[in-house]
Amino acid sequence: MRCAMLVLFGAYAGLSVGCNPVGMAAKAGVSMVRGVQADVHPVRDVSRHALASYDRLKVGQVTSDVGRICSPPLITEVRKAMILALADESRTRFTGSGKALVVNVVCRFYKQKSLIGQEGRLDLLAILVDQESGQEVGRLYLEGLTESPVHTGMDDMAKGVSRKLAEYLGEKKKG
């Protein structure tokens, strides 16, 4: 506990000093601990009431219409990460084998973090569809960013954004 407090205090002190090597190192340390930061921006938000009728989450299609930006290996990583993240959330808040909410994902933008400080980015569009009727229930834009010197690969980005989507749907269902 004492060690964690010292690291946080050092990071805060380093960041408040300004643009110096100690401050930059502290900022890199904080970024490394934070990892991938993701945000959900509802385009057509799904209501708590609508989510209440679903017992499970299911990954549908994972595609991209910008193949040069979002390559097949990225699509594979996003699919794997979505399956794991939605399965985890299904065990906690979507516990059942009844009506399924299908999450179709379109990869919109990907940029790997560079060694000289540019941030990494992964943007996805999640289209939530009722499995039985095929009706769209919601549409969410997910934006993932990383400045971490460690969490830079497409697998890290896919995991971070997928976890955020799963958390968002779980919290929305909980109310």
Query: For residue range 55-110, what is the model confidence (pLDDT) as tens digits?
Result: 999 999 999 999 889 999 999 999 999 999 999 888 888 887 789 999 999 999 99
Q: What is the pLDDT of residue 150?
A: 59
Q: Using the 8-state DSSP alphabet, how is residue 42 labeled?
A: E
CB of 119 closer than 8 Å to CB of 146: yes
Averaged pLDDT for residues 5-20: 47
Identity of the residue numbered 48: R
What confidence tens digit (pLDDT) does each residue in 110-149 have?
988 666 667 889 999 999 999 999 999 999 999 999 887 6
Q: What is the pLDDT of residue 153?
A: 77
C-alpha–C-alpha distance, residues 123 and 69, integer Å: 11
C-alpha–C-alpha distance, residues 23 and 165, integer Å: 32
Q: What is the pLDDT of residue 54?
A: 94
| Residue 33 pLDDT level (bands cut at 50, 70, 90) | very low
C-alpha–C-alpha distance, residues 164 and 61, integer Å: 18
Residue 32 parent element (H or E): helix 21-34
pTM for the full model? 0.77
Residue 23, pLDDT > 80, answer no
C-alpha–C-alpha distance, residues 102 and 116, integer Å: 39
Domains of the chain: 1-34 (no CATH), 36-174 (3.40.50.10610)
Q: What is the pLDDT of residue 95?
A: 82
